[in-house]
């Protein structure tokens, strides 16, 4: 292949890649146990509204009354905005209920399926499967 043809192929590949959406960097099923949902009830301690995923940090109430810190991953900020949510949909100090998928590696990290806010509003399917 001559130099002109090589440049044309590279230019075409770059043009196509610039206009084609890129898929997620990982699937939910690769990191989380997508076969069962667990319910968390607790208090939000912090919300990191950032890319690549928003993380809701919370203290989850255990059956014995103690609490355990968890990090719950949601979609990215643009995805949350598509759901009609802004940075203040939950804040530190809010009591929430969440249905989550737990991390396969046993860490205290989860993916958000649903969240019920202090106003009683429930948002569904916050992470793509």
The enclosing domain of 97 has a CATH number of 2.40.50.140
On whether the CB atoms of residues 104 and 9 are closer than 8 A, the answer is no
Residue 15: inside a domain, yes or no? no
Q: 108 lies in a domain?
A: yes
14 within some domain: no
Residue 120 has phi, psi (to 5 degrees) of: 90, 0
CA distances from 2 to 7, 15, 16, 97 (A): 9, 20, 21, 62
Range of the domain at 35: 25-124
pLDDT tens, residue by residue, 93-120:
999 999 999 999 999 999 999 999 999 9
Evaluate whether residue 16 is within a structural domain: no
Q: Quick check: is 54 in a domain? A: yes
The Cβ of residue 92 has, within 10 Å, a number of other Cβ atoms equal to: 12
Q: What is the pLDDT of residues 38-95, one digit of tens each?
A: 999 999 999 999 988 899 999 999 999 999 999 999 988 998 888 888 888 899 999 9
Q: Measuring CA to CA, which residue among 71, 68, 67 is closest to residue 103?
A: 71
Inside any domain, residue 129: no
Total domains in the fold of the chain: 1
């Amino acid at each position: 292949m001559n130099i002109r043809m090589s440049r044309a192929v590279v230019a075409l590949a770059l043009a196509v890649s610039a206009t084609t959406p890129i898929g997620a960097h990982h699937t939910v099923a690769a990191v989380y146990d997508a076969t069962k949902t667990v319910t968390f009830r607790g208090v939000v301690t912090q919300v990191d509204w950032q890319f690549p995923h928003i993380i809701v940090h919370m203290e989850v109430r255990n059956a014995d009354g103690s609490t355990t810190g968890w990090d719950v991953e949601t979609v990215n900020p643009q995805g949350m905005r598509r759901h009609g949510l802004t940075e203040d949909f939950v804040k530190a100090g809010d009591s929430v209920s969440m249905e989550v998928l737990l991390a396969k590696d046993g860490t205290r990290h989860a993916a958000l399926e649903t969240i019920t806010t202090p106003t009683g509003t429930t948002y569904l399917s916050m992470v793509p499967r």
